[in-house]
A = this chain, B = another copy of it.
């Protein structure tokens, strides 16, 4: 019985990993998630915050307006160009935050399918800068409007909530701008 050939040492566990992407690539994504975790997690969290803040800011400005304009009593936000400016900037930031969140989730699920990393880094850097400056501009313009407004109208409450949200959104976007600036610098230097 000693002439039996020994079991080959190359067990399935030691086989070289195939170069073609395997259908069981969830584990690879998990490994990448854990290795790139702190930066990517912070980025995703900031994008989620930006989405929530921009949505609630735009919603609080838009929500009380239609019902009141039907009655014809209370002024609407689109009668005032400054509040309209604030609303448009918030909507644009919401769309941008939604794109960034979608891109971040695509990155974790399967890398590089949606958009290349280099293009994405440049887009993030440029748009974060623009969004930050637009947000601080629109929020600043809205503050004097609120001060001059009648405090009993529902639009006053809506505009106050909206501007507070807008300032919080600005802080989030400014932090994102620092992160994306750091990423673009790393890309240029290395």
Contacts and interface: CB of A to CB of B under 8 A. Distances in A.
Contacts of A144: 82, 141, 144
A136 interface: yes
Interface stretch (A34-42, A58-66, A105-113, A178-186): A178-186
A138 to B, nearest CB: 8
A150 B40 CA distance: 52
Interface string A131-155: 0110011111101100000000000
Q: Is the interface of A mostly helix, strand, loop or mixed?
A: helix
Nearest to A132: B133
Q: How many subunits of this chain does the assembly comprise?
A: 2
A121 to B, nearest CB: 13
Contact of A137 (B82, B129, B140, B181): B140
A187 to B, nearest CB: 10
A19 interface: no
Contacts of A139: 137
Interface of A: 82, 129, 132-133, 136-141, 143-144, 174, 181-182, 185-186, 188-190
Given A141-B144, A181-B185, 16 more contacts: A82-B144, A129-B174, A132-B133, A136-B136, A137-B137, A137-B139, A137-B140, A138-B140, A140-B140, A140-B141, A141-B141, A181-B181, A185-B186, A185-B189, A186-B189, A189-B190
Q: Which 9 A-B pairs have the closest CB atoms?
A: A185-B185, A137-B140, A140-B141, A133-B136, A181-B181, A136-B137, A140-B140, A182-B185, A136-B136
